[in-house]
Structures are given as C-alpha cells and as structure tokens.
Amino acid sequence: MERSSRITKKFAELAKAKRTAFMPFLVAGDPDYKRSLAFAKALVKNADLLELGFPYSDPLADGPTIQAADARALKSGMTVSKVFSLVRDIRKASDIPISVLVYANLVYKRGIERFYREARKAGIDGVLIPDVPVEEAGPFVKAATKYGVDPVFLVTQTTTDARLKKIGRYARGYLYLVSVL
C-alpha cells in the first residue's frame, strides 16, 4: 500500500472542499535568512503549501526575477545547510506541506542519499529537480522513496502521453505544470 504524504493529504483535503491550492514560492535566503524566515512564516499562515527554491548560481528553469532572488540569497551567504535550517525554523511555526526546487548539481555535490535524508529530517515533503529528466531520475526517486519525500516532476504543454505515463510512474505529491513554453 502506498503511503500518504503530507502533500497528497493536503490535495485530497482541498479536492474534498472543492478548493484550489494556494502555494507561494520563495527563494530561500532572499534577501537574507532572517527576512526570508519572516516572509515564510507570514505566508504559511494563509497558504495551503509552500515551495522554497534553493538559491543556485546558474538556474536553467527560472526567469530574471528568480535569478535576481537567487543572486541576493547567495550573496547573503545561503548554502544547502542553511536552507535545511530555514525549513527546520519554518517547521517550528507550521506543519504546512513544504516542497523545494533544487538543481541537480547541489544534490550531487551533497550526495543524493545524504541530501534526501537531510531533507526529510528538516521537514521537506517534496523535491523538484528541474534539470533531471525522468529517464535519469532513478537514483533520486530511490532516495526520495527511501526517506518518504515526494519526487515532483515537471510536465509541459508539449509532454507526450507516453512521456506523461512514464513521469506518472515516478511522481508523487503533484506534477509541476510549466505553463509557458
């Protein structure tokens, strides 16, 4: 029997209430740790879920606004360890489902197994890695499953039915629809 994550429970609750989810996004550490934590704590009071982006120097799937936020967060000294600390601090205020967007290089550098173990321990419920295609996601999905973290995948307007089926075999929590080509 498949486990029910905090994310899937939230979406089931919202479906039952016939409500759309409000899931804001913040780059962790933008403009600095203290203010990022204050923003997150304010948002979780009214949000259904929260998505945090790990700041990254070379984001591929983000536009100029998020790129600028990444630069500010990195300049303020944010690291992978500090993002995990930020999540732990948010968890002191809320049990809201939290997913993260992180680039593969940060996960590889940390070690896939270690990254997912630390993510779960921090209180992260889902991980989206936009630069890992489903065909290469095996090690990430294996670690995510081991530690009870939902692997989240991107789909686009051009995703074929066959590819969507393949993604559906691995994805948990939700699918991230890229609405702009």
Query: Which member of 32, 62, 89, 113 is catalytic?
Result: 62
> At what angle are helices 33-44 and 80-91 packed, to 10 degrees?
40
Tell me which of 30, 48, 51, 70 is the catalytic residue. 51
Tokens of 165: 């089926």
The reply to whether 62 belongs to the active site is: yes
Burial (Cβ within 10 Å: 0-12, 13-18, ≥19) of residue 157: exposed
Please report which residue ranges of the chain form alpha helices under DSSP H.
Answer: 6-16, 33-44, 64-75, 80-91, 104-110, 112-122, 138-146, 161-170
Is residue 136 annotated as a catalytic residue, yes or no? no
Residues annotated as part of the active site? 51, 62
